[in-house]
Chain A
Amino acid sequence: MIDFLKQYCKIISYSLLGLIFAFSSFYLIVNLYHASEIRKTFVYDPSTNATMQKFQNYLTSIKENLPEIDANKYEGDLTAFQVMSADQKLKACYEELNNEAMQAIMNKNELTIVDIYNLREAFETEVVSKCVVTNLDWFAKAEKNQLNSAYLKGNQTYLRLYLDSILSDTYYLKKDLLNNSSYYFNTSLVTSTVMDKVKDGYYDLMASYTKVAAITDELAQWFSEETKGAR
């Protein structure tokens, strides 16, 4: 009887150990896999990447359209204060678009998830907060009798909708990027949505950056036409 119980104890003990072995192997392998997955990089060449080129072209165009201005020489509908404000706001937007995180990825050939996170954070804190909300919003919000220009009169509603769409453009990416620190039980669905966000994140973010650069360029071109004599 006692021998039987001893054998029984041995069976229970080794069954438990087998379970713990399976459990620890699973966690060890899944952790190794997760660690390697979040280290995946996106290799690209900023000088040939079409998305990056498009964005850089917009930046060059904005810069060319915003040389030094003398408000006293301006002879259009806007007041000198409005001319100087518009000029400062567009120039500030150019600076925000050309932020540190963006310059960092322009000088890299290999992007990691951390670069994408930094670029998204810069989009929220620099581009959305300082450029879109503080500066570009002014063009959409200014009273029509205050900003007496045919272009803005006709396009303010469109501008408003466009800027509103930019504000929440990358929120889902932020959520996805944060998810890369939790994995629970791995499935192919989790892998595709949570991990390896570098390439997808890059293109999503560049689309948002390009959107802001495009509208800034559009406004810069209008402003350049409007203040032709004052340059």
Chain B
Amino acid sequence: MIEILNKILYYIKLLLLLASFGFTFYIVVFMYQRLDKNILDAFSVFLPFAILFVMYAINMILNQKAVKDSVFFNFVSCMVFVLIIFCGYRAVADDFMIAKIRLGYDINFNYFSDMIAPFKIMLYGLSVADIFLILAGVKRKKKKVQDETLTVKVEAK
């Protein structure tokens, strides 16, 4: 049961990562347009998404079991992305926040910019946790090979 749940979470987190990045990108692009700022200045907002995406890609390509089998890691990742999507949705669609009406734009930039700092902390945290999980799951392959050759030699003798 947990294995099935873990597999679902493992793949859903990738979809949620893309969706949360899309939402953030959409809002930040409009926010920078409104402020007449260069979109390249928003690099620091997108960087944690890019790092996390690279980490997930490495996990998938190298099939790292330490990450793949960690239900907690996959669950927390999904939770962070759900939070980003929820906040993005509120910034775009929550008409009860007066700043949205007051500012006259279709997006509540005031609210979303408040949330960017916590998002960054959580995304960087996930990347660092991923690195430590990879390190924890590294297998000492060389020693195993050496051990195997030694046993073969002993058997041959």
Question: Are A181 and B129 closer than 8 Å at their CB atoms?
Answer: no
Question: Are B79 and A181 closer than 8 Å at their CB atoms?
Answer: no
**Distance between Cα atoms of A180 and B102 in the complex (Å):** 12
The 8 A CB mask of A1-32 against B (1 = contact, 0 = none) is 01001110110111011011101110110010
B110 in the interface, Cβ–Cβ < 8 Å? yes
Q: For residue A182, which residue of chain B has the nearest CB?
A: B114
| A: interface residue count bin | 20 to 34
Chain A residues with Cβ below 8 Å from B18 are none
Question: Are A20 and B80 closer than 8 Å at their CB atoms?
Answer: yes
Distance from A177 Cβ to chain B, minimum over Cβ atoms (Å): 5
**Distance between Cα atoms of A12 and B132 in the complex (Å):** 7
**Distance between Cα atoms of A114 and B80 in the complex (Å):** 30
Distance from A36 Cβ to chain B, minimum over Cβ atoms (Å): 10
B97 in the interface, Cβ–Cβ < 8 Å? yes
Question: Are B126 and A180 closer than 8 Å at their CB atoms?
Answer: no
B87 in the interface, Cβ–Cβ < 8 Å? yes
**Distance between Cα atoms of A13 and B108 in the complex (Å):** 35
Question: Are B79 and A35 closer than 8 Å at their CB atoms?
Answer: no
A39 in the interface, Cβ–Cβ < 8 Å? yes
Of B3-11, B21-29, B36-44, B133-141, the one with at least 4 CB within 8 A of chain A:
B133-141
B51 in the interface, Cβ–Cβ < 8 Å? no
A117 in the interface, Cβ–Cβ < 8 Å? yes
Known contacts A23-B121, A24-B122, A181-B98: A17-B83 contact under CB 8 Å: no
Q: For residue B100, which residue of chain A has the nearest CB?
A: A181
A78 in the interface, Cβ–Cβ < 8 Å? no
**Of A7, A16, A178, A184, which contacts B98 at CB under 8 A?**
A178
Question: Are A17 and B98 closer than 8 Å at their CB atoms?
Answer: no
Question: Are B83 and A28 closer than 8 Å at their CB atoms?
Answer: yes
A166 in the interface, Cβ–Cβ < 8 Å? no
Question: Are B97 and A20 closer than 8 Å at their CB atoms?
Answer: no
Question: Are B129 and A28 closer than 8 Å at their CB atoms?
Answer: no
**Distance between Cα atoms of A113 and B98 in the complex (Å):** 8
A38 in the interface, Cβ–Cβ < 8 Å? yes
6 new A-B contacts at CB < 8 Å, known A10-B132, A20-B80, A21-B76: A16-B132, A19-B125, A23-B118, A23-B122, A114-B96, A181-B108
* Interfacial residues, chain B to chain A (CB-CB below 8 A): 72-73, 75-76, 79-80, 82-83, 86-87, 90, 94-102, 108, 110-111, 114-115, 118, 121-122, 125-126, 128-130, 132-133, 135-138, 140
**A to B CB contacts below 8 Å, 26 in the list:** A6-B138, A10-B133, A10-B136, A16-B125, A16-B132, A17-B72, A17-B76, A19-B125, A20-B122, A20-B126, A20-B129, A21-B72, A23-B122, A24-B76, A25-B79, A27-B87, A31-B87, A35-B96, A39-B96, A112-B96, A117-B101, A177-B98, A180-B98, A180-B99, A181-B97, A182-B111
